[in-house]
Amino acid sequence: MSEGKTWTPQGWRDGAAQPGWTLPGIANLHSHAFQRAMAGMAERQTHPEDSFWTWRETMYRMAARFGPETLHAVAAQLYAEMLEAGYTTVCEFHYLHHAPDGRPYDDPAAMSRALIAAARDTGIRMTLLPVLYMTGGFDGRALSERQRRFGHSIEGYLRLFETLSAEQGPALRIGCALHSLRAVPPEAMREVLQALPQDTRVHIHIAEQIGEVQDCTAIRGGRPVEWLLANAQVDPRWTLVHATHLTPAEVRGIARSGATVAICPTTEANLGDGLFPLRDYLAANGAWGIGSDSHISVSPVEELRWLEYGQRLDTRHRNIAVRADSPSVGRTLLHDVVASAPASTGFDVSDRVMLDPHAPQLAGANEDDAIDRWIFSGNRNLVDVVEVAGGRVVETGRHIDGERIAARFRLAMRELLER
């Protein structure tokens, strides 16, 4: 095609910045940046019944090796990769707060500032979500030795939130992350939520694992989502991460609340979590987005593709993610992740992702099938140019500062793996 087309939730319009197809930037609603350093390193069986809980031991060992400089280098590489893939905003769910022995750094915000610097270096928008992490389980047990660097008192957490909030700007928002119901006692959750500004975005891990659901039911008398909806004012400011194991009533309850579910299909598959009930949630008109979480994949295409494929495997039918007004799976998926982004991130902006106008996979594409081809036509990254806030950060598929960022990342990985 000679004339460019730009996609909006209302449809395609003429006048793109270059020939071909221009899409909105995608928001990555869930990221643990440090885990990029262990991608592909937890694929050896350590137990006959390997699970999320055994994977977590590997994660703890890697987490213990990080300081501010290595976190900066790894996060910058990750964020450059996100931009190259078409993500233009990241929600960084950050719990690696203190030194490995649990003592705060001289600057208690040092690790948070490393992430902020990485976002600024690469040009990605960031919603930084400092995590409140207080207990090791629903029974209120103390944090383990390996978890101590994650922990805060309520007072310490609110001081960190206040410190970081002073740094907000056009490309940085500060939100709140409650790690999970098992890690935040009910009284602490209520106190922190009451202390936060009313427009604060709130993210929480929830109902990711069957064991988590069973423990919550046994100790709090209700399933995680059931308990949360009954005990907090869940509304569109909230993002429920994973929410994998739901009853029909919980599906309807989340949808009615206006909260967004952050679905992370590649990580949920990698960890053996289970499948989110997407078809029922779409029928309830629920809001949802995607995240790359542990970064075993850094591709919105793969997250969206495997979200749909998981539903096909579960139902043994095809073309699940559609709505009455559109039979296109790709358009439904793209519409929903774009529509949910402002509520989850705090950014109401539209960045541009321009697909390669010469890509063979898009030869002959038209307005009916261009998005479906982008998602389902193969594994080559079709992103050509990315602009954030009007500034170009990716050209010919590569981050404009990618070589320097990658060189620093290689040095950081050598340091991490030698520890």
Count Cβ neighbours within 10 Å for each residue of 376-393 and write b for 16 or more, e otherwise. Answer: bbeeebbbbbbbbeeeeb
Q: Which two tokens stand for residue 367?
A: 């307005």
Among residues 184, 146, 3, 170, which one has the least CA distance to residue 62? 146
Task: List the catalytic residue out of 273, 293, 336, 356.
Answer: 293
Q: Who's near 208: CB < 8 A, 6+ residues apart? A: 52, 241, 242, 244, 245, 268, 273
Counting other chains too, the contacts that 110-114 makes at CB distance below 8 Å and 24 or more residues apart are 110/68, 111/66, 111/68, 111/71, 112/160, 112/164, 113/68, 114/68, 114/69, 114/71, 114/72, 114/75
Longest dimension (CA), the chain: 63
Amino acid at the residue 132:
L
Task: List the catalytic residue out of 152, 242, 245, 399.
Answer: 242
At 132, is the secondary structure helix, strand, or coil?
strand
Question: Is 293 an annotated catalytic residue?
Answer: yes
Residue count (the chain): 419
Question: Is 317 an annotated catalytic residue?
Answer: no
Residue with tokens 């350093």, as numbered in its chain: 37
> Which residues are tagged catalytic?
242, 293
